[in-house]
C-alpha cells in the first residue's frame, strides 16, 4: 500500500503533507516549484485563478514530486504523476430518462431510484455557482469527452470560470463495479434471489449466494426446513449469540431455549415482502388485488404480514334489572391503517376480556351514587367469566381502509344475546361496522334476580383493564390446533395504581329497578399527553408491534413497554359519556378519528383536541410502505419498511403476563424481544435503547436484547444489491429500462446481446451460484459515488439527486431542491413537514433548502474525516461499537455517519414546541443516557432518516472507486547544461472492470467466480484505459 503519486516508488517515507513552499496562487505549470527540502515538484492541476483568495486558489492545485531519469553521464529527463479519484466526484453527464413523463409508474421510479446527480446544486442559494449555467437533463453533456469541453455548453464566460473551481468535484467518467468490497467477489443480486417463483427455488438461490451453507449445526438454508432465519453467524459473524451475561435473573440467559434469535425474520419472509408488489393471482403471489388495494395477510414464518392495528378499544356496561339481571355490553374499536396504500375489504376478529371476570354484586347501599365495597360483599355475588362477553367473536367487517386512516367500529345491530355457556360463546359472533353508535349493545343474561333482602345490584370489577386481541382468518374450531398463529396484535392497557383507574371498580353503580347506564374500561396508545416519559414512538420501538404487554421484564410480570394507557370509568352519573373519549373526529365525520401523534383528547369527556395541535394532524399518517406494483424494490434502503416483528409460532398465546405459564415464559421472551427493535430497523443505525453502545447483545434490568439494525445492515449491505433486473420474463436493454437505470451494460452488444436474459440472470438453475452474480458481471454503475468523498460540493450534488422530481401534491417539482420521502406514494407537500405539527409532516415529505444541503454536506465531510476511511457499505451505514467512556463528544456509538450528519444539521430543533418533550432517560428504557432524543415524536415521516436517503441513493454508493484519472508530466533535459528542452503533459482515464486480470479465456477465472488463479488472487480485477489525451499548459 502506498500513495498514488510519483516520488515514493522506492521508499515509504513520502508524506503528502510536505510543505511545497514554492507554490502560490499565480503558479503556472512551467514554473519551477521547489519544496522546503529542495525537492522539485510538477504542477499537475493549476490553482484556481478565479478563487476569492489565495488559500482557496491553492486548494485546487495538485503537485507531484519530480523524479529524475538518469542517463549514462547526466540527467536525461524527469517525470511526475498523480492518480486522481473520479469516484469521489459527482457525475456531471447523467440524464433522467423519465423527465417530463406523465406515467404514474415512471414518476414513482424517479423517486425510488435517483436517475441523475444534480450538478446544479453546486451553489449556495440557487443563483450562483453552477446553478445558473448547468443544463439540467439536456442530452448534450453525454457527448462531451472531457471537462475542458464542458464550457461549450454555455457561452457565458462566467460559466468557464465557475467550472475551473469544481475540478475536484465533477467528473464525466465515473463507473462502479458492483463488487462486494467486504467479503470479496461481485455482489449477489437480490432481485434475482428474491424474485424466484416459489419457496423451494428461493432456498436454492439463497444457498447458492453463500460460499459456505453450514457450519456445525448452523445453516444459511437448512435442508428440508420450511423456513430459515436470516440472522446467524454465517450471514453476519456479529449474530453469534454470546455467552450468558448474568444480571441477577437466570430467566434471561441467552442459552435458554428457544434462544433470543428464535423468532427473528426469515429469508422466506423477506422473499414474501419483496414480492408484495405482485398481485395475489401472480406467481409468486403478491398482496395487491385487481383494484390496487393490498389484501391483509398474517405475519408468519414464510410470509410478511400486512394488517391494520388497534389504536383504541373500549368496553362499556349498562345494568338492566327488569326481570333477571342483564348486562348490556357496548364494545368499540378504533382500527388504523399505518400504510401508504389502501387496504382491501376484510373481516377481522377481535376477542376482548376472554380471561377477565366480572361480578354482579348485591347489596343495600346508603348512597347509590357513592357505593362502598363493604356494602356489596363477595358472599352475595354472581361471577361472570369473561365479563359476559368472554370469547365472543367481534367481527370487524371492514369495507377497506384508505391509506393512513383510522376507523371507528361499533356494533351493526343492537340487542343480540350472548350465550350463557362459555363453550357456546366460542361460536357466537357479533358484527361491528365502520360507524359510531354508542347505544348499540350486546346482552348477557345472568339468569338471576336481586335476592331479598338486598335492594340493589351493581357491576363490579376487581381489575378494570381490558385485553384486546386482533385476529385475521380466525376460526374458533382451530383454537387448539392453530390458535394464536392467527393473531395480528395483542394489547393490554396498563392502568395506574390509584384513582378511578385502580382495582375494585364499580363499573355500574347500584340499581334497584329498570336500567342504569354505567362506565367502562378502555385504552388508547400513548402519545404526547403521558405524564411519564417514553421512547420515541416512531423510532425507538416498532409501532406496529404484535405484543403490547407481553412479559419481558426483569421483575414481576410487568412488561416495561407499557405504551397502551388503560383507563376505567366508574358508574358515576355522566361517566357513560366517556364512550366518546379520545375520538377526535374530523368535521362532518362520525367514522374516522385522529391517531398516531395524537391519541387522546381533553375537556370534560376527553373529546376535545388539545390546544396547540395542528388542525389536520393525525387524521392521515403514512408510516409504512408496501412495495408498489410495477415498481418493486431497487435499494436495500427501501427494506427499512420490512417488518422485523416476530411471527407467532405457538398454539395458544396470551399477551397478559399472568398467563405466561400456559405457553412458556422463554418462548414469549424470544418473541416479545422483537417488539423492542426499532421502527425502521434495516438501513438505519440508531441503537436498540436496551443495548449498550459497545455491544450488540445485552441483558440488564429489562431482560435480554439485541441490536437488530447493526446485524441486518452487516448481513445485507455489502454482499447484496437489487439490480432491478426481472427474475423472469423478457427484457431487452435496447427497448426496456431498468428501475435502477444507472446500472448499464458495458460490454459490446455482439459479445453480450442486450436481449439475452441469460447474460444477466443466468441459465435458469437457481442452485447455480454463478446466476446471482451474472448481473454484476455484465452491468456497471454509471455515476457510482465513493462514500469516502471529502468534496462538499460533490455531496451537495449527491444529496440533491432528486431535485426537480415531482412528489405528492408538488406536481411540477420546480421548487424541490433535495426531496426525500419515507414512502413512494405521498399525498401531501413539503412545507412545514419538519415540524411534526402540520398535515404535511405525516402525509408529505422533507425537502432540504440550499442552506440545509450545504450544512449537511459539510457535516458529512466532517463525519468522513472523523470516522473514515469506510472499508465497506455496512461500515458506513452502521454505528461504531465503542464504550461510552471512550466515545467522548463524538457520539460514534450513537448512530452511523450519515444519520449523525443528518441529525446535527437537519433534524436538530425543528419540531414544533407542541411536541417538544424529550424521550425517557430511565434505565428501564434506556441503558445509556445519551440514547435520549430531543422529542418523543422523533422518527415521524417528516423526520429525515438515513434510510430515506439510502432508499433513493444507496444503490449507487460504494466504499471504493473504480475510475481514476492519471495525470503525468515528462520533460527532456539538455545533456550539456540540464536545461529543459521540452515538456509534455498527458491525462489518461482508467477504469476497473468486473473481469479478472487473467480471465477465463486465457486460463483464469470468470468474473462471477471466486478467484482461483494465483494472478487473480494477487492482482484482482483488470483495469482498462478508456481515454487518453495530451494536455496543453492552459488545460492543466
Burial 436-473 (b: 16+ CB within 10 A, else e): bbeebbbbbbbeeebeeebebbbbbbeebbbbbbbbbb
Distances (CA, A) of 646 to 230, 301, 471: 13, 9, 15
What does pTM read for this prediction?
A: 0.95
CA distance 816 to 804: 5
Would you state the pLDDT for residue 742? Answer: 98
The domain of 323 spans 309-526+563-580
Task: Assign 19 to helix, strand or coil.
Answer: coil
Domain assignment of residue 998, yes or no: yes
Bridge partners of residue 521, in order along the sequence:
315, 568
Would you state the pLDDT for residue 826? Answer: 97
Would you state the pLDDT for residue 75? Answer: 85
Domain assignment of residue 207, yes or no: no
DSSP string, 727-783: SSS---TTT---SSTTEEE-S-TTTS-TT-THHHHTTS-TT-TTGGGHHHHHEEEET
DSSP string, 53-94: SHHHHHHT-EEEE-EEEE-SSSEEEEEEEEEEESTTSEES--
- Alpha carbon 628 to its chain's center: 16
Would you state the pLDDT for residue 658? Answer: 47
Distances (CA, A) of 21 to 26, 42, 60, 816, 1020: 13, 13, 16, 45, 39
Residue with cell 467479503: 183
Domain assignment of residue 390, yes or no: yes
Mean pLDDT value across the chain: 91
Cis? peptide before 258, omega within 30° of 0: yes
Task: Assign 807 to helix, strand or coil.
Answer: strand
* C-alpha cell recorded at residue 754: 442486450
DSSP string, 108-149: HHHHHS--S--GGG-SSSSSSTTTTT--TT-SGGGG--SGGG
Q: How many domains does the chain have?
A: 2
Reading phi first (left if > 0) and then psi (alpha if -120 to 50, else beta), residue 978 is in left
Task: Assign 492 to helix, strand or coil.
Answer: strand
Burial 605-637 (b: 16+ CB within 10 A, else e): bbbebbeebbebbbbbbbbbbbbbbebbbbbbb
Residue with cell 376482548: 352
* C-alpha cell recorded at residue 618: 393525525
Would you state the pLDDT for residue 550? Answer: 45
**Rounded to the nearest 5°, which phi and psi values hold at 447?**
75, 10
CA distance 342 to 338: 10
Would you state the pLDDT for residue 650? Answer: 62
Domain assignment of residue 117, yes or no: no
Residues 6+ apart with CB under 8 A from 126: 817, 850
Burial 835-856 (b: 16+ CB within 10 A, else e): bbbbbbbbbbbbbbebebbbbb
Task: Assign 1030 to helix, strand or coil.
Answer: strand
Burial label, 1034 (beta-carbon count in 10 A; 0-12, 13-18, 19+):
exposed
Residues 6+ apart with CB under 8 A from 263: 646, 647, 649, 670, 671, 674
Reading phi first (left if > 0) and then psi (alpha if -120 to 50, else beta), residue 616 is in alpha
Which ranges of the chain have pLDDT less than 50? Answer: 550-560, 654-663
DSSP H helices, 832-986, are 840-843, 850-867, 873-877, 884-887, 897-905, 946-953
* C-alpha cell recorded at residue 336: 388504523
Domain assignment of residue 226, yes or no: no
- Angle (deg, nearest 10), helices 850-867 and 792-799: 120
**Rounded to the nearest 5°, which phi and psi values hold at 646?**
-65, 150
Q: Tell me which residue of 918, 837, 956, 952 sits closest to 598, measured CA to CA.
A: 837
Would you state the pLDDT for residue 581? Answer: 97
Domain assignment of residue 236, yes or no: no
Contact 686, 540 (CB under 8 A): yes
Per-residue pLDDT tens for 246-267? 655 566 678 888 888 999 999 9
Would you state the pLDDT for residue 505? Answer: 87
Contact 23, 61 (CB under 8 A): yes
CA distance 872 to 83: 22
Would you state the pLDDT for residue 554? Answer: 42
Would you state the pLDDT for residue 532? Answer: 58
Domain assignment of residue 981, yes or no: yes
* C-alpha cell recorded at residue 83: 492518480
- Angle (deg, nearest 10), helices 850-867 and 897-905: 140
Domain assignment of residue 140, yes or no: no
CA distance 611 to 57: 55
Would you state the pLDDT for residue 813? Answer: 82
CA distance 864 to 461: 60
Q: Tell me which residue of 563, 538, 536, 567 sits closest to 549, measured CA to CA.
A: 563
Would you state the pLDDT for residue 555? Answer: 37
* C-alpha cell recorded at residue 598: 395524537
CA distance 320 to 732: 74
Amino acid at each position: 500500500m502506498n500513495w498514488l503519486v510519483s516520488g515514493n516508488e522506492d521508499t515509504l517515507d513520502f508524506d503528502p503533507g510536505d510543505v511545497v513552499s514554492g507554490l502560490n496562487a499565480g503558479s503556472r505549470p512551467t514554473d519551477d516549484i521547489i519544496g522546503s527540502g529542495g525537492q522539485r515538484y510538477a504542477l499537475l492541476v493549476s490553482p484556481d485563478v478565479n478563487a476569492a483568495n489565495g488559500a482557496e486558489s491553492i486548494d485546487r492545485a495538485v503537485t507531484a514530486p519530480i523524479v529524475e531519469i538518469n542517463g549514462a553521464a547526466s540527467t536525461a529527463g524527469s517525470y511526475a504523476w498523480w492518480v486522481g479519484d473520479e469516484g469521489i466526484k459527482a457525475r456531471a453527464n447523467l440524464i433522467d430518462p423519465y423527465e417530463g413523463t406523465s406515467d404514474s409508474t415512471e414518476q414513482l421510479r424517479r423517486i425510488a431510484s435517483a436517475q441523475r446527480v444534480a450538478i446544479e446544486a453546486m451553489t449556495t442559494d440557487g443563483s450562483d455557482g453552477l446553478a445558473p449555467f448547468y443544463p439540467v437533463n439536456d442530452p448534450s453533456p453525454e457527448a462531451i469527452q472531457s471537462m475542458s469541453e464542458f464550457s461549450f455548453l454555455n457561452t457565458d464566460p462566467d460559466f468557464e470560470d465557475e467550472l475551473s473551481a469544481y475540478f475536484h468535484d465533477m467528473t464525466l467518467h465515473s463507473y462502479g463495479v458492483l463488487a462486494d468490497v467486504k467479503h470479496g467477489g461481485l455482489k449477489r443480486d437480490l432481485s434475482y434471489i428474491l424474485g424466484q417463483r416459489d419457496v423451494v427455488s428461493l432456498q436454492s438461490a439463497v444457498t447458492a449466494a453463500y460460499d459456505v451453507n453450514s457450519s456445525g449445526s448452523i445453516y444459511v438454508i437448512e435442508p428440508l426446513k420450511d423456513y430459515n432465519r436470516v440472522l446467524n453467524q454465517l450471514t453476519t459473524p456479529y449474530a453469534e449469540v454470546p455467552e450468558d451475561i448474568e444480571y441477577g435473573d437466570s430467566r434471561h440467559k441467552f442459552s435458554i431455549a428457544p434462544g433470543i434469535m428464535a423468532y427473528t425474520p426469515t429469508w422466506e419472509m423477506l422473499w414474501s415482502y419483496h414480492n408484495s408488489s405482485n398481485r395475489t393471482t401472480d406467481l409468486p403471489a403478491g398482496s395487491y388485488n385487481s383494484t390496487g388495494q393490498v389484501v391483509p395477510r398474517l405475519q408468519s414464518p414464510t410470509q410478511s404480514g400486512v394488517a391494520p392495528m388497534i389504536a383504541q378499544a373500549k368496553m362499556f356496561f349498562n345494568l338492566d334489572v327488569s326481570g333477571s339481571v342483564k348486562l348490556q355490553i357496548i364494545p368499540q374499536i378504533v382500527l388504523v391503517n399505518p400504510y401508504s396504500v389502501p387496504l382491501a375489504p376484510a373481516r377481522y376478529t377481535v376477542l376482548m376480556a376472554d380471561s377477565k371476570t366480572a361480578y354482579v354484586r348485591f347489596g343495600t347501599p346508603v348512597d347509590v351514587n357513592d357505593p362502598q365495597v363493604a356494602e356489596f360483599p363477595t358472599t352475595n355475588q354472581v361471577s361472570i367469566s369473561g365479563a359476559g362477553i368472554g370469547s365472543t367473536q367481534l367481527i370487524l367487517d371492514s369495507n377497506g381502509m384508505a391509506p393512513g386512516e383510522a376507523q371507528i367500529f361499533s356494533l351493526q345491530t343492537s340487542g343480540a344475546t350472548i350465550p350463557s355457556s362459555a363453550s357456546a360463546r366460542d361460536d357466537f359472533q357479533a358484527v361491528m361496522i365502520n360507524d359510531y353508535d354508542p347505544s348499540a349493545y350486546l346482552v348477557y343474561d345472568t339468569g338471576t334476580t336481586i335476592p331479598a333482602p338486598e335492594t340493589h345490584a351493581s357491576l363490579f370489577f376487581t381489575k378494570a383493564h381490558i385485553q384486546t386481541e386482533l385476529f385475521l382468518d380466525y376460526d374458533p374450531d382451530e383454537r387448539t390446533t392453530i390458535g394464536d398463529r392467527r393473531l395480528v396484535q395483542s394489547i393490554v392497557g396498563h392502568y395506574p395504581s390509584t384513582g378511578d383507574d385502580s382495582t375494585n371498580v364499580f363499573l355500574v353503580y347500584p340499581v334497584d329497578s329498570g336500567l342504569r347506564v354505567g362506565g367502562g374500561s378502555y385504552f388508547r396508545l400513548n402519545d404526547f399527553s403521558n405524564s411519564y416519559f417514553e421512547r420515541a414512538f416512531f423510532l425507538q420501538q416498532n409501532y406496529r408491534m404484535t405484543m403490547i404487554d407481553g412479559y419481558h421484564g426483569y421483575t414481576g410480570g410487568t412488561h416495561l413497554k407499557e405504551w397502551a394507557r388503560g383507563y376505567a370509568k366508574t358508574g358515576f352519573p355522566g361517566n357513560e359519556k366517556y364512550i366518546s373519549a379520545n375520538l377526535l373526529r374530523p368535521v362532518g365525520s362520525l367514522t374516522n378519528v385522529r391517531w398516531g401523534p395524537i391519541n387522546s383528547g381533553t375537556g370534560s369527556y376527553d373529546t376535545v383536541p388539545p390546544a396547540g395541535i395542528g388542525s389536520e394532524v393525525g387524521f392521515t399518517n403514512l408510516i409504512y410502505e408496501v412495495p408498489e406494483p410495477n415498481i418493486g424494490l431497487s435499494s436495500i434502503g427501501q427494506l427499512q419498511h420490512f417488518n422485523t416483528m416476530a411471527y407467532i409460532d405457538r398454539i395458544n398465546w396470551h399477551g397478559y403476563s399472568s398467563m405466561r405459564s400456559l405457553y412458556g415464559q422463554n418462548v414469549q421472551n424470544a418473541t416479545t424481544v422483537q417488539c423492542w427493535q426499532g421502527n425502521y430497523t434495516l438501513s438505519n443505525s440508531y441503537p436498540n435503547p436496551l443495548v449498550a453502545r459497545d455491544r450488540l447483545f445485552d441483558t440488564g434490568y429489562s431482560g435480554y436484547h439485541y441490536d437488530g439494525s447493526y446485524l441486518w445492515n452487516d448481513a445485507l449491505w455489502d454482499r447484496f444489491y437489487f439490480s432491478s433486473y426481472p427474475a423472469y420474463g423478457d427484457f431487452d436493454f435496447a427497448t426496456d429500462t431498468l428501475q435502477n437505470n444507472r446500472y448499464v451494460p458495458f460490454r459490446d452488444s455482439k459479445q453480450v446481446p442486450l436481449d439475452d436474459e441469460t447474460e444477466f440472470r443466468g441459465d435458469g438453475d437457481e442452485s447455480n451460484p454463478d446466476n446471482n452474480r451474472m448481473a454484476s458481471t455484465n452491468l456497471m454503475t454509471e455515476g457510482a459515488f465513493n462514500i469516502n468523498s471529502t468534496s462538499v460540493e460533490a455531496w451537495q450534488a449527491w444529496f440533491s439527486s432528486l431535485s426537480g422530481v415531482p412528489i405528492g401534491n408538488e406536481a411540477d417539482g420546480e421548487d424541490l431542491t433535495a426531496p426525500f420521502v419515507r414512502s413512494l406514494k405521498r399525498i401531501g407537500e413539503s412545507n412545514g413537514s419538519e415540524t411534526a405539527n402540520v398535515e404535511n409532516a405525516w402525509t408529505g415529505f422533507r425537502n432540504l433548502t440550499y442552506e440545509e444541503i450545504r450544512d449537511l454536506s459539510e457535516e458529512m465531510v466532517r463525519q468522513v474525516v472523523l470516522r473514515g476511511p469506510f472499508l465497506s457499505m455496512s461500515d458506513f451505514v452502521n454505528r461504531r461499537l465503542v464504550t461510552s467512556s471512550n466515545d467522548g463528544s463524538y457520539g460514534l456509538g450513537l448512530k452511523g455517519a450519515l444519520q449523525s450528519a443528518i441529525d446535527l444539521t437537519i433534524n436538530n430543533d425543528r419540531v414544533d414546541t407542541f411536541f417538544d418533550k424529550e424521550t425517557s432517560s430511565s434505565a428501564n428504557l434506556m441503558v445509556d443516557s445519551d440514547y435520549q432524543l430531543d422529542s418523543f415524536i422523533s422518527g415521524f415521516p417528516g423526520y429525515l432518516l438515513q434510510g430515506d436517503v439510502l432508499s433513493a441513493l444507496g444503490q449507487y454508493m460504494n466504499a471504493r472507486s473504480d475510475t481514476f484519472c492519471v495525470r503525468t508530466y515528462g520533460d527532456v533535459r539538455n545533456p550539456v547544461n540540464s536545461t529543459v528542452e521540452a515538456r509534455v503533459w498527458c491525462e489518461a482515464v482508467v477504469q476497473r472492470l468486473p473481469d479478472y486480470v487473467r480471465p477465463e479465456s486465457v486460463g483464469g477465472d470468470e468474473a462471477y467466480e471466486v478467484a482461483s488463479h494465483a494472478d487473480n488472487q494477487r492482482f484482482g480485477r483488470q483495469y482498462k484505459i478508456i481515454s487518453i489525451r495530451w494536455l496543453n499548459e492552459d488545460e492543466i
